[in-house]
Amino acid sequence: MRHIVLLGSTGSIGTQTLDVIRKNPGIAEVKALASGGGRVDLMEQQVREFHPETAVIYNEAAARDLQVRLKDTSVRVLSGMEGLLEICRMENADMVVTAMVGMIGLRPTVEAIKSHKTIALANKETLVCAGEYIMRLAAEEQVDILPVDSEHSAIFQCLDGRGPETVRRILLTASGGPFRGWTFDQLKNVTPEQALKHPNWSMGAKITTDSATMMNKGLEMIEAKWLFGVRPDQIEVVVHPQSIVHSAVEFTNGSVIAQMGVPDMRLPIQEALEYPKRGNITVDPLDLFQKSPLTFEKPDEGTFKSIPMARWALEKGGLYPAVYNASNELAVSRFLQRKIGFTDIYREVELALEQYDKGAAHPAAYTLEDVFEVTDPFLTV
Ligand code: NAD
Ligand code: MG
């Protein structure tokens, strides 16, 4: 049984993680929960249902509110970054599920690795910003990073322990989002309401917007490079609108292994929580007859510039991916606040990358402080 700290418990991945635990009571015990602050009611309910020792709300006022509501319990309530770091160090936890959104997850993830917790990683922004640093630290500390992102969980399962030397290509699938087939001109007038309707997945607002721009696939290309140690030119994006094949690996001998399942995040979450065991089914079984036909197409990289931009940032290396991620976080938040248009997201990321490229130093080897220096100007929290 796992003893988990769940960062981002009130979000889409967080609530689904708790649902997997609710349906498989032997799988994990919840030692701590953390959220940003928006849904104190839900946080209170979660504490009463899962009985963690500690609950953290980043926002101080919301944390005080939670503390008052939980007066009749013995739960410790903490706040701020200090609170998040403290639960990542908890002695009696062995896994940290990183289901918070954005690069604000970087410090807690680093703390969890240094405290030798297995990482169930949903928070891809952290790995995109500091992939090289995180992977090196995890190797030094002998900490496993188990992917929760469905594509990366699929690749992890296809590889089944085989190393990058056995891989010819990673076939990273993408649903194509709600605007598959649209032209760049058509995208210009997309509203937040339109962007927030995803055809196959129900997710938080940030990643849903990223799926609509396909910035999400760009982030996932970078995430795949770091998780699986492949070169950027070995990662191919394949649009697969049905979201049944969650990704595939083509091996050096031409054999291709794909992982399939219904599009339900509880599947990769359960995979990470139980790994290497395979427990009981929590989601609907896959009915291939009903899902047929499965189709595959090339992404339209002229419209969805996020993909070539990600490839470029990956090839440049160093802190370019951090700039790609950070500028996207700010642009998405501005788009959702209706301050900029949908296609301005690409423009803002492009500008940030151009500006960074024109600057003085582009260290190939960077420190964590360097990451904060290039990303802090784009922080939204
Ligand atoms: P969400 O917006 O639904 O939830 C985000 C969670 O993070 C909330 O609990 C929020 O309170 C918490 N949070 C925000 N700021 C915080 C802070 N400063 N301190 C502590 N907690 C904070 O997002 P989501 O869709 O669940 O996505 C979470 C992460 O998982 C993202 O990195 C996303 O890219 C990744 N992911 C999500 C899905 C999905 O299906 N939703 C799939 C793959 C990967
Ligand atoms: Mg994904």
Q: Residues 75-87: pLDDT tens digits?
A: 999 999 999 999 9
pLDDT at 381 over 90: no
Q: Residues 347-361: pLDDT tens digits?
A: 999 999 999 999 988
pLDDT, average across residues 144-151: 98
Q: Residues 212-247: pLDDT tens digits?
A: 999 999 999 999 999 999 999 999 999 999 999 999
**Alpha carbon nearest to ligand 1 atom 14, residue:** 36
Cα–Cα dist 306/346, whole Å: 7
Residue type (1 letter), 17:
T
Cα–Cα dist 212/306, whole Å: 11
Q: Residues 41-70: pLDDT tens digits?
A: 999 999 999 999 999 999 999 999 999 999
Distance 254 CA to ligand 1 centre (A): 37
Q: Which residue has the tokens 């009749």?
A: 72
Distance 130 CA to ligand 1 centre (A): 18
Atom of ligand 1 minimally distant from the CA of 203 = 41
Q: Residues 164-182: pLDDT tens digits?
A: 999 999 999 999 999 999 9
**Which uninterrupted H or E stretch holds 238?**
strand 235-239
Residue type (1 letter), 381:
V
Q: Which of 10, 12, 16 to mutate to test the pocket of ligand 1 (most atoms within 8 A of CB)?
A: 12
293: DSSP letter: P
- Residue 198's region, left for phi above 0, alpha for psi from -120 to 50, else beta, is beta
Distance 100 CA to ligand 2 centre (A): 15
Give which of 204, 272, 264, 266 is closest to 35, Cα–Cα: 204
Distance 346 CA to ligand 2 centre (A): 19
Cα–Cα dist 302/298, whole Å: 11
Q: Which of 203, 271, 333 to mutate to test the pocket of ligand 1 (most atoms within 8 A of CB)?
A: 203
Q: Which ligand is the nearest neighbour of the Cα of 246?
A: 2
**Given this model, what pLDDT does residue 360 score?**
80
Total Cβ atoms within 10 A of residue 107: 16
Ligand 1, CB cutoff 6 Å, lining residues: 7-14, 34-36, 38, 58, 84, 99-101, 104, 122-125, 149, 201, 203-207, 265, 381
The mean predicted confidence, pLDDT, of the chain is: 97
- CA gyration radius for the chain? 20
**Given this model, what pLDDT does residue 163 score?**
97
Q: Residues 4-49: pLDDT tens digits?
A: 999 999 999 999 999 999 999 999 999 999 999 989 999 999 999 9
Under 8 Å between Cβ of 335 and 342:
yes
| Cα–Cα distance list, 10 to 57, 115, 190, 237 (Å) | 10, 24, 28, 31
Distance 251 CA to ligand 1 centre (A): 33
7's tokens: 């960062």
pLDDT, average across residues 111-115: 98
Q: Which of 87, 207, 209 to mutate to test the pocket of ligand 1 (most atoms within 8 A of CB)?
A: 207
Atom of ligand 1 minimally distant from the CA of 202 = 40
Share of the chain above pLDDT 70, in %: 100
**Given this model, what pLDDT does residue 165 score?**
98
Cα–Cα dist 169/225, whole Å: 11
Q: Residues 294-323: pLDDT tens digits?
A: 999 999 999 999 999 999 999 999 999 999
Atom of ligand 1 minimally distant from the CA of 58 = 19
Angle between helices 40-50 and 12-23 (to 10 degrees): 20
Report the predicted TM-score, pTM, of the whole model to 2 decimal places. 0.97
Q: Residues 241-253: pLDDT tens digits?
A: 999 999 999 999 9
